[in-house]
Structure 1
């Protein structure tokens, strides 16, 4: 199966814990989530409800974010945030625990916005420490930490693939951590002006995960102008063999029409970036 569905952004009309079952009903077998709790360390009952929603639906959790703060308010991660480092460190073991119980091995650590009153160099030093701690914790369950360039957040410093790859290289050089990789979100990279084709040719073999949405609009494949099918095919050609995360905004009733328009199971079909091709 090729695709996984990000339940934190998709099927938003449904309560969060009903979305895994809806994903299964739509013909997909894997889900991803941003951090689904209000706190870095939720209670046991909250954890159990979340995990049960996934296992009862019969889908596989393949991706989970570390706590990134208040995303609707503009937060984009705790990794480089002075004053919240202990909160991030407390979250690491919770994330690894969920991964260990559900067989998830990919964990996205949003870097964090630049903050007034804090030197960028100090934030970057803190980020190296926190990414190293996260990598060590998830390594125990065979996990990988993902680092993602993001669009639409002017204070977020990682905008291109090279921005993220420089951080990854620094962590590896300074600490030896080998299980930290690039999350290549083709939507974010494209909107930020990165050369997605070149990124694929140079780095696809090192991608930790791929996510897609069309642009403009962050809609379903085929609603914009991005050559998503071509980019996916090229990623395969240049060595990426993982899932493709669906992370776009669309009404639940039409969210997977692009998949139903082609023959075969939805979760095995290519995502087209043009309306006139399957």
Structure 2
């Protein structure tokens, strides 16, 4: 088994960022990829103009790549924001305004996975109030995703880099998945297993895979330390992906790593051709 048997999708919000957004799908295709994923590209606009959506759709279609994953609006990424849906006031309102725009765009390209980042804790606000707001907004997102035949992904981050983000363990993320599924009855909420974030939290990755592979809807990878390409750190990523396949996961693995001090196209030398 190994990397050669895995289907990889490249995240165009962290790789190929040296290029304008509309040039990235073609660059990914030129590098040999058939699938891409994205954070919400318009960090200041949860509902951009139709012309902007159409231009990105054409760029993806013209490149001949498939959109396999899309984040809902999550504020400014990369940066201090870690989602919006649990943040009272303007940010959660922006998330709700984004739900139809994001699902409509994803549906137009046959994308069947939408990722909802939970959001940071806010000073002076009861965490229980934020959790109630989060569940309300996640139910809204799950129902919208279901209308296009998509799954809703819940992602855990890591405490060292995101100390105000409450979902910093696999059990915490899966607990939210279960709450959403219970509230909607749809069963389309899934865990996003990001092996980099989980390793930063010090979790036992083989154990996480054994326990939660059946509830996992998408996987993302980067090496640790450094969040670089496989082989730049010490994570046994090839072995971990083998374990996921043996546990029944047959989906994509998203490359969500930093290319380092080189063009993104040169950061795939670890990948069997």
Same fold? TM cut 0.5 = yes
How much does 1:44 deviate?
A: 0.8
The answer for the alignment partner of 1:256 in structure 2 is 268
Query: Aligned equivalents of 1:82 and 1:172: distance in 2?
Result: 23
Alignment match of 2:218 (pick from 205, 209, 221): 209
The answer for the alignment partner of 2:3 in structure 1 is none
Alignment match of 2:84 (pick from 59, 63, 78): 78
How much does 1:196 deviate?
A: 1.1
Q: Where do residues 240-251 of structure 1 align in structure 2 (5 Å cutoff)?
A: 240-250=249-259, 251=262
The answer for the alignment partner of 1:233 in structure 2 is 242
The answer for the alignment partner of 1:110 in structure 2 is 117
CA contact (8 A) 2:37 2:254 kept: yes
Alignment match of 1:62 (pick from 46, 56, 68): 68
CA contact (8 A) 1:132 1:177 kept: no
- Whether 1:219 aligns to 2:228 is yes
Query: Aligned equivalents of 2:242 and 2:147: distance in 1?
Result: 32
| Cα deviation 1:79-109 (Å, max 9, x = unaligned) | 1011022211110001110111100010000
The answer for the alignment partner of 1:135 in structure 2 is 142
Query: Aligned equivalents of 1:107 and 1:253: distance in 2?
Result: 26
SS in 2 for 1:146: strand
Q: Where do residues 51-200 of structure 1 align in structure 2 (5 Å cutoff)?
A: 51-83=57-89, 84-151=91-158, 152-200=161-209
What are structure 2's unaligned runs of at least 5 residues? 1-5
CA contact (8 A) 2:12 2:36 kept: yes
CA contact (8 A) 2:142 2:189 kept: yes
Query: Aligned equivalents of 1:179 and 1:86: distance in 2?
Result: 23
CA contact (8 A) 1:187 1:215 kept: yes
Alignment match of 1:50 (pick from 39, 42, 56): 56
What are structure 1's unaligned runs of at least 5 residues? 266-278
Query: Aligned equivalents of 1:145 and 1:164: distance in 2?
Result: 12
| Cα deviation 1:211-262 (Å, max 9, x = unaligned) | 0000100000111100100110000000101011000001324211111xx3
CA contact (8 A) 1:89 1:130 kept: yes
Q: Which moved more, 1:244-253 or 1:50-59?
A: 244-253
Q: How many residues align?
A: 261
RMSD: 1.1
Q: 1:224 to 1:127 in 2, by over 3 A?
A: same
SS in 2 for 1:88: helix
